[in-house]
C-alpha cells in the first residue's frame, strides 16, 4: 500500500499536524506500507525531522501566488496553487492507495482535485469549520460526532471520531501511573512557541511550592525564555529544558501536568496523568470543556481568564486531593487506550486484507490461534484443545463441503480466521483474531470480506447468523456495527429475500 500524507509545520502553525501524522506513518510503515510526506518549506518546517525518521519527503513552496500571509492558520490556502505544486513534485511517483490530508487550509476543493493521484482520500480534522469530500473522516476530539459533521461531509464516508482514535505514540501506552499520596513532581509544557506566556505564568504560580520538583519544557523560541532561565537558576529543584528526547518518560515521572489543550491532551490521558488544562487557542476550548465534563482533567479556562493566583490555588487544591487525582487518572484512561493510530492504519489498510481458504499447511497457525487465552475466553467451548483433536478437526473441516474455513491476511501477516457452517440456505459464522490484532478494527474488516466471499461461494445463501456469549460486549458491538440484527445473543445478516425469485 502506498500513502501520501499532506501536512505542514511552521513557527506559526506549530508541529502538531506533522507530529500526529508521523505517528500514523510509523504504524503504516511497520505494517508494510510506503509513506511519502508532502510539506511546504515554511520557517520552522519539519522536513528534516521526517527525513531523520526515514521517510521520503517532497518539498512544496513556502509562498503561493495570491496567498495572504497575514491571515491566521485556519485560513484557506489557494488550493489550485497547492495542487499545481504537488503535481510538479509527484510527476514520477505514480498513484497512491490513499492520500491523508491534515491541514486547516485545505478543504473539499483540494480533496476533489487530489483524487487524480489516489483512489481514496482521508481527512484529519479537529475544527469542523470546512467541508470535506473524502472516503474517511477523522476527528479525535470528544466533541466530534456524525451530527457535528452532518453539514460538512459532502458525501457518505467512514468516520473515525472520538478519543479512542487519538493519534499517540506507542511510548505513551504504559502501565497506569501510580497516584502518589504525597505528590512530589510537576511537569509544565505549553508547546514550543507558547506565545501566550503560560509557562512563565506557571513559574510564578509554582514559586511558593518549594518542596516540589518541577520540570518546565519550553521551546527555544519562547518569548520569555531569558526570564524563565533566570528564575529557574535560583531554584535547585526546578529544571528548564528547551528540548526533551523522551517526553513520555518525563510524563511518567510526574504527579501533575500543567499545560494546554492541544496534542499532549491525549498522551496525558493515555498515561492517566492528572492535568490542569488552560486553553491557549480558540480551537481548544470546546474539547477542553467536554473533557472536563467527562472527568478527564481540570479545565481552568482560557489563557486570558487564568491568572497567576488562580493557577496557584488550583495547583494546591489538586495536589492535596488524592481522590480527585485518582478519579482524573481513571476517567482519562477510559477515554484513551493508545491504540488510535492502529485503528486509523487498519481503516486505511483494510482494503489490502485478503481472504483465502485454509489448508493442511495452516494446522499449526489455527491451533495456536484457537488456543490463545484471549480467544478461548470468549469461545462457546473454552477448553484447551489438544493437538490430536485439532488435527482431526482440521481434516474433517477441510473435507466438509458445508464448512468454509477462511484465513484473513495482509502484507504484514495473518490477521484472523472465519468459519462458516452452512445449514440449508443459512450459515453460521464464527470469527477470531490472532494475537496482536485485537481492538483495532480487524474484526470489522474480516466480516466485511467474509460476507462477500461466502456470498460468492454459496450464491443461494439467504442469511448469516452468529452466536455470541452474553458477556462478550466487544463481539456484540462488532456484529451490531456490521449490520447484524440481534435476537438474544444471536445475530443474523439477511443476504437475500427467500420469497424473491
Written as nine digits, the cell of 436 is 496482536
- Angle of helix 308-319 relative to helix 198-206, nearest 10 degrees, comes to 60
From 481, 410, 397, select the one nearest 159 (Cα to Cα): 481
Written as nine digits, the cell of 491 is 445475530
Please give the Cα distance from 146 to 478 (Å, whole number): 19
Written as nine digits, the cell of 16 is 502538531
* Phi and psi torsions of 457, nearest 5°: -70, -40
* Phi and psi torsions of 13, nearest 5°: -75, -35
Residue at grid coordinates 440481534: 486
| Burial of 45: CB neighbours in 10 Å, binned 0-12, 13-18, 19+ | buried
Which DSSP symbol is given to 310? H
Q: Is 376 annotated as a binding residue?
A: no
Antiparallel, parallel or unpaired: β 118-124 and 136-139: parallel
**Alpha carbon 313 to chain centroid distance?**
34
Q: Let me know: does 36 contact 28? Beta carbons within 8 Å.
A: no
From 170, 168, 129, select the one nearest 152 (Cα to Cα): 129
> Would you call 464 helix, strand, or coil by DSSP?
strand
Total residues found in the chain within this entry? 501
Q: Is 174 annotated as a binding residue?
A: no
Please give the Cα distance from 22 to 30 (Å, whole number): 12
Please give the Cα distance from 374 to 360 (Å, whole number): 24
The dihedral formed by the CA atoms of 412, 416, 421 and 425, expressed in degrees to the nearest 10: -70
From 316, 202, 210, select the one nearest 259 (Cα to Cα): 202
Residue at grid coordinates 468459519: 419
Interior CA angle at 76 toward 73 and 80, to 5°? Answer: 135
Please give the Cα distance from 198 to 57 (Å, whole number): 34
Please give the Cα distance from 27 to 33 (Å, whole number): 9
The dihedral formed by the CA atoms of 195, 201, 203 and 207, expressed in degrees to the nearest 10: 170
Q: Is 17 a catalytic residue?
A: yes
- Consecutive H or E run containing 335: helix 322-335
Please give the Cα distance from 205 to 213 (Å, whole number): 14
Please list the active-site residues: 17
Which residues are known binding-site members for substrate? 169, 267
Which residues are known binding-site members? 169, 267
Amino acid at each position: 500500500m502506498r500513502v501520501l500524507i499532506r501536512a505542514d509545520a511552521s513557527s506559526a502553525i506549530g508541529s502538531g499536524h506533522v507530529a500526529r501524522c508521523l505517528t500514523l506513518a510509523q504504524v503504516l510503515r511497520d505494517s508494510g506500507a510506503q509513506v511519502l510526506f508532502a510539506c511546504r518549506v515554511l520557517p520552522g518546517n519539519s522536513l528534516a525531522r521526517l527525513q531523520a525518521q526515514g521517510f521520503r519527503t517532497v518539498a512544496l513552496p513556502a509562498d503561493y501566488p495570491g496567498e495572504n500571509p497575514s491571515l491566521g492558520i485556519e485560513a484557506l490556502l489557494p488550493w489550485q496553487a497547492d495542487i499545481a505544486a504537488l503535481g510538479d513534485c509527484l510527476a514520477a511517483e505514480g498513484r497512491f492507495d490513499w492520500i491523508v490530508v491534515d491541514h486547516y487550509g485545505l478543504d473539499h476543493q483540494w480533496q476533489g482535485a487530489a483524487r487524480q493521484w489516489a483512489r481514496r482520500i482521508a481527512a484529519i480534522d479537529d475544527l469542523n469549520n470546512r467541508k470535506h469530500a473524502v472516503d474517511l473522516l477523522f476527528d479525535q476530539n470528544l466533541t466530534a460526532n456524525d451530527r457535528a459533521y452532518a453539514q460538512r461531509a459532502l458525501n457518505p464516508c467512514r468516520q473515525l471520531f472520538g478519543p479512542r482514535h487519538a493519534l499517540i505514540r506507542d511510548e505513551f501506552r504504559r502501565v497506569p501511573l501510580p497516584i502518589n499520596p504525597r505528590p512530589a513532581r510537576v511537569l509544565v509544557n505549553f508547546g514550543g512557541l507558547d506565545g501566550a506566556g503560560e509557562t512563565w505564568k506557571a513559574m510564578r504560580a509554582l514559586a511558593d511550592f518549594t518542596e516540589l520538583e518541577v520540570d518546565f519544557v519550553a521551546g527555544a523560541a519562547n518569548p520569555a525564555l531569558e526570564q524563565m532561565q533566570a528564575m529557574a537558576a535560583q531554584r535547585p529543584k526546578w529544571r528548564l529544558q528547551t528540548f526533551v528526547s523522551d517526553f513520555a518518560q518525563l510524563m511518567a515521572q510526574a504527579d501533575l501536568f500543567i499545560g494546554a489543550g492541544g496534542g499532549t491532551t491525549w498522551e496525558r490521558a493515555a498515561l492517566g496523568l492528572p492535568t490542569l488544562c488552560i486553553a491557549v487557542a480558540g480551537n481548544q476550548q470546546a474539547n477542553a470543556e467536554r473533557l472536563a465534563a467527562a472527568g478527564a482533567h481540570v479545565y481552568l479556562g482560557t489563557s486570558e481568564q487564568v491568572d497567576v493566583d488562580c493557577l496557584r490555588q488550583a495547583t494546591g487544591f489538586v495536589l492535596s486531593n488524592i481522590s480527585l487525582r485518582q478519579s482524573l487518572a481513571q476517567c482519562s484512561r477510559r477515554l484513551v487506550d493508545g491504540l488510535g493510530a492502529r485503528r486509523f492504519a487498519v481503516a486505511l489498510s483494510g482494503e489490502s486484507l485478503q481472504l483465502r481458504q485454509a489448508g493442511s499447511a495452516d494446522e499449526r497457525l489455527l491451533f495456536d490461534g484457537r488456543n490463545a487465552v484471549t480467544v478461548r475466553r470468549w469461545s462457546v467451548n473454552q477448553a484447551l484443545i489438544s493437538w490430536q483433536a485439532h488435527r482431526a478437526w482440521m481434516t474433517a473441516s477441510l473435507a466438509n463441503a458445508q464448512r468454509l474455513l477462511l484465513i484473513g491476511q495482509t502484507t504484514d501477516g495473518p490477521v484472523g480466521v472465519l468459519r462458516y457452517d452452512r445449514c440449508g440456505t443459512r450459515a453460521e459464522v464464527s470469527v477470531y483474531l490472532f494475537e496482536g490484532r485485537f481492538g483495532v478494527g480487524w474484526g470489522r474488516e474480516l466480516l466485511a470480506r467474509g460476507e462477500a466471499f461466502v456470498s460468492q461461494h454459496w450464491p443461494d445463501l439467504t442469511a448469516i447468523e452468529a452466536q455470541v456469549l452474553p458477556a462478550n460486549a466487544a463481539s456484540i458491538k462488532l456484529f451490531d456495527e456490521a449490520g447484524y440484527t440481534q435476537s438474544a445473543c444471536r445475530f443474523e445478516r439477511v443476504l437475500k429475500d427467500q420469497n424473491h425469485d
